[in-house]
Structure 1
Amino acid sequence: MLRFHNYDIVFQEIPSEVTLAINISGCPNRCKGCHSPHLWNDIGKVLDESSIAVLMEKYGNAITCICFMGGDSEPDEVDRLAVHLRRSIKQPIKTAWYSGKQNIPKSCNLHNFDYIKLGAYIEELGGLDSPKTNPRLYKITNEQMEDITNHFQKQKQ
């Protein structure tokens, strides 16, 4: 069962989107230098269709994307909730998943997401804003993955 610790409206996680970022707890990755080690614990409220409906009722018209921040302990549940969003939400909403795994699990379908971040955080390589970063953010179009990580990196002048 997925649980979430909190959520927030963010503008930088997914380029050009107003995103409801849902921080999922129970992260099994435990990356050195993690900015949210409290999410390693299985804490918070249940994340399911009902809790998503409450969030959509509250924020639906203000957001363009929902991002599952984590969920690596139960990737099939993240995939299932993305399917639910695609089928059940009346307004167009994009779906994103920030995973710390190197690859999307074979049981998950790229078609269910508009964006996926893959790769463990490696402290000495930095976050998405670092040219050396390990994690990569992909935009999914027709089940093709386009690496858009460079959108986070400032261009040198």
Structure 2
Amino acid sequence: MHCYDFHVVLQEVPGEISLCFTISGCPLRCKGCHSPFLWKEGSGAKLTNSAYRAILYRYFGFASCVVFMGGEWHKKELIAKLKYAQAQGYKTCLYTGEETIDLEVKKHLTWLKTGRWDYKKGGLDSITTNQLFVEVATNKKLNHLFLKQ
């Protein structure tokens, strides 16, 4: 699993300061994708366990959530990293363009964003979006948290 970049983000999970890992190798190739450079497998640096753990340790007490932008195509590695984050007290989230996600991955998530990017429908901040942001435990749709009031 290669991480193209890492950022501390505030908008991907409302109410959370999140550590966001953008994973390369996306197989979906959505029309109008804002990050086509992520299609190439192996772009960025290998997300080693030691590097990942160091980041989570560094931000412990500041950040509350770990977000993966993709990576579900590396199921075993993703699950291991989600489990580690949870064991350290972090909430977890996955952003995927898929409509559904493997149950083995899903059971290690607090939140899940599904749905391909459709430039005609917009993202989570659009009332016409095809994407869903849900709280996994309750299956409650939380798209309203992204809409501008």
Give TM-score, length-normalised by structure 2: 0.91
Q: Which runs of 4+ in 1 moved over 3 A?
A: none
| Deviates further, 2-11 or 55-64 | 55-64
2:59 aligned counterpart, secondary structure: helix
Unpaired runs of at least 5, structure 2: none
Distance 2:72 2:47 in 1: 14
Alpha-carbon separation, structure 2, partners of 1:28 and 1:55: 27
Structure 1 residue runs without a partner (length 5+): none
Q: Indicate the residue corresponding to 1:96 in structure 2.
A: 93
> What is the deviation of 1:74?
2.0
1:109, distance to aligned residue in structure 2 (A) = 4.3
Aligned residue in 2 for 1:136: 132
Q: Which moved more, 1:26-35 or 1:39-48?
A: 39-48
CA deviations 1:60-92 (Å, max 9, x no partner) are 2220101001113223432232122223x2xx2
**Residues 71 and 83 of structure 1: is their aligned pair in 2 closer, same or farther, counting only changes over 3 Å?**
same
Q: Distance in 1 between matches of 2:105 and 2:24?
A: 22
2:109 paired residue number: 113
Return the alpha-carbon distance in structure 2 between the equivalents of residues 18 and 66 of structure 1.
Answer: 9
Taking the aligned partners of 2:133 and 2:49, their CA distance within structure 1 comes to: 26
What residue is the counterpart of 1:9 in the other structure?
8
Question: 2:72: which partner in 1?
Answer: 72
C-alpha RMSD over aligned residues: 1.5
For 2:22, the equivalent position in structure 1 comes to 23
Identity between Structure 1 and Structure 2 (%): 32
